[in-house]
Amino acid sequence: MTETAAESAPEDTPPSAADATFWADVDRHVMRYGTPFTPRVITSASGSYVHTADGRRILDFTSGQMSAILGHSHPRIVATVRHQAATLDHLFSGMLSPPVVDLCRRIAASLPAPLEKTMLLTTGAEANEAAIRLAKLVTGKHEVVSFTRSWHGMTQAAAGATYSAGRKGYGPAAPGNFALPAPDAYRPDFTAPDGGLDWRRQLDHAFGLIDAQSTGSLAACIVEPILSSGGVIDLPPGYLGALKEKCEQRGMLLILDEAQTGLCRTGTWYAFERDGVVPDLLTLSKTLGAGLPLAAVVTSAAIEEEAHDRGFLFLTTHVSDPLVAAVGNTVLDVLTEDGMDRRATDLGARLRAGLLGLRERHQAVGDVRGRGLLQGIELVVNRVSKQGSDEMGALVTRRCLELGLHMNIVQLPGAAGIFRIAPPLTSTVPEIERGLEILDRAIGEVTPPFLQD
């Protein structure tokens, strides 16, 4: 891809008067909610790019909030929104419409048995909240297990199962939440004779601790097949199967949170397909709406029946809304007709090869991991100690933005330079190559002074 003048323009030019007013209004009126605001005024977006007020195009390697799997302003999504908003947008929560029923039927058709009953909601946190509530009601128990580096949302039960951030300062979480160590192969805590992660021993040890702390009321385990906010940690092959066995032995339900991994992102329709493990409950969100607020909880008819008989209640203003359900149907149309699972596999292989090339060229790239078009790289100042640097990671992020690439860095204690790379599934080969070129340049310019012998 040819670098345009707008993409190569220097980023330290003084802001315009309009921009200055914009940021003054931000300082005065916009509440901060935990992530630094990107210092650009975004006015529009299309395809793989977002556009700024000063005329720059920025390649979006995060798909918005890891959600816009069909890129920004996909013409079929735009057409669906226009038609559905003019026809049927919102209903009383007890009313059902064809787009809702169609989407529930089609989600079931895309999944293995016995997953066949779906509730449509708005956000990942809301879907996880509903799934945990279902599990507690059906099992009659209340304790929940999740990974130490998990992110499941900011509502009560979802936040209680989130350990990567946001726990300090809010008082006690709900009782009965237990942390399961994330199986991080790059930083193994239990090692096999070859030095690799001995995840089976780690899992056995972890559940020994959980059993010792449990009051005998283990209800559910909620995990992501790839921990995204936790540092793009891909569960080792076989791990999900062993985890399902641990759950079944204790009468727990397994909830898989596929907010970021579901619907072709990893090269298969669902990330759990690789392991041949079917969860008791599945949650979908980000990718299902391709950037619009749509989420789903999917479970078996038996679990749904038991929950209903026990009086399950999860009534929200936007449950079963027809507008976003219509969008979800269009998302499934495009994914199916354009073979997006195969496309994610092919583009993901090209992206991964490029990232492995960066690791060969730059000592600061310690690890490359992920699947399909959800990849991660971890920057370190020393490959032996694996020490990260907040400053180095922030500067690489800033330099990428200056060069026309938006990247997302995960800030974790002891690992402060992990990039989540999740381009739209509609990305082109030149766009993938352009992003790699910018990342290569940014790492090469920024990291050398930080490297330690």
Q: List residues with catalytic annotation.
A: 151, 224, 257, 260, 286, 420
∠ CA 184-185-190, nearest 5°, is: 85
What gap in Å lies between CA 155 and CA 123, rounded to an integer? 10
| Cα dist from 124 to 284, 295, 333, whole Å | 7, 6, 22
CB 421 within 8 A of CB 347: no
